Amino acid sequence: MNIFRLAGDMTHLASVLVLLLKIHTIKSCAGISLKTQELYAITFATRYLDLFTDYISFYNTVMKIIFLGSSFSIVWYMRRHKVVRRSYDRDQDTFRHFFLILPCLLLATFINEKLTAKEVLWAFSLYLEAVAILPQLVLLQRTRNIDNLTGQYVFLLGAYRALYILNWIYRYFTEARYVHWITWICGVVQTLLYADFFYYYFQSWKKNVKLELPA
């Protein structure tokens, strides 16, 4: 465990906490894409199947359970909670899951580390996570008033991905035979998707004005 990896995981955890804070205390999910949250729930459900097959560390197990539990509870809140669900921007959140899920599934059956169910699902989870933020970014662009918590949530998610890249660079130079091409390429693609958002986020921060993405 290096500092970049730990900082990345903590930033990921912080993003989830910010989102849960918004949903649980303000009882609002305005500006949050249910599509993205469902894609994350599928991502973690398919990637963390190894909870049942491999033990890596106490830290690893606890974090996996947290990310699984939080992603499914966020989906539950947005779909079922009698107050929270009313704030969901259903008409704006129109991205189709299947346009993302199907290509990822196809890609995973062709490009994986080994042709086993576990490895195909692992690759699928990486491809899906790389694009899962797209419905959220589309929704942000359509939202005239992006509240602070939503902006911070997306910023923390992007920061988590950027820190993971630093973690891979560090590990590549410090560990023998540490090579994960699929993870790296997906990670870089995923981080690039945030580039535009980062640009406007820093602009609004520098000028101290409300975040708004150009249509």
| Residues found near other proteins in the complex (CB under 8 A) | 5, 9, 12, 50, 54, 56-57, 60, 63-64, 67, 113-114, 122, 164, 167, 177, 180, 183
Q: Smallest distance from the beta carbon of 56 to other proteins, in angstroms? A: 5
Cβ closer to other proteins: 81 or 171? 171
Q: Smallest distance from the beta carbon of 124 to other proteins, in angstroms? A: 14
Alpha-carbon gap, residue 38 to 43, rounded angstroms: 8
Q: Smallest distance from the beta carbon of 68 to other proteins, in angstroms? A: 11
Q: Smallest distance from the beta carbon of 51 to other proteins, in angstroms? A: 11
Cβ closer to other proteins: 5 or 27? 5
Triad 68, 63, 109: Cα angle to 5°: 55
Cβ closer to other proteins: 89 or 113? 113
Alpha-carbon gap, residue 44 to 122, rounded angstroms: 10
Sequence-separated (6 or more) residues with CB below 8 Å from residue 62:
none
Cβ closer to other proteins: 5 or 97? 5
Alpha-carbon gap, residue 144 to 205, rounded angstroms: 17
Q: Smallest distance from the beta carbon of 44 to other proteins, in angstroms? A: 9
Question: Chain centroid to CA 40: how far?
Answer: 6
SS (H, E, C) 118-184: HHHHHHHHHHHHHHCCHHHHHHHHHCCCCCHHHHHHHHHHHHHHHHHHHHHHHHHHHCCCCCCHHHH
The four Cα atoms 46, 155, 103, 72 give a dihedral, to 10 degrees, of 30
Q: Smallest distance from the beta carbon of 173 to other proteins, in angstroms? A: 16
Cβ closer to other proteins: 95 or 168? 168
Cβ closer to other proteins: 12 or 22? 12
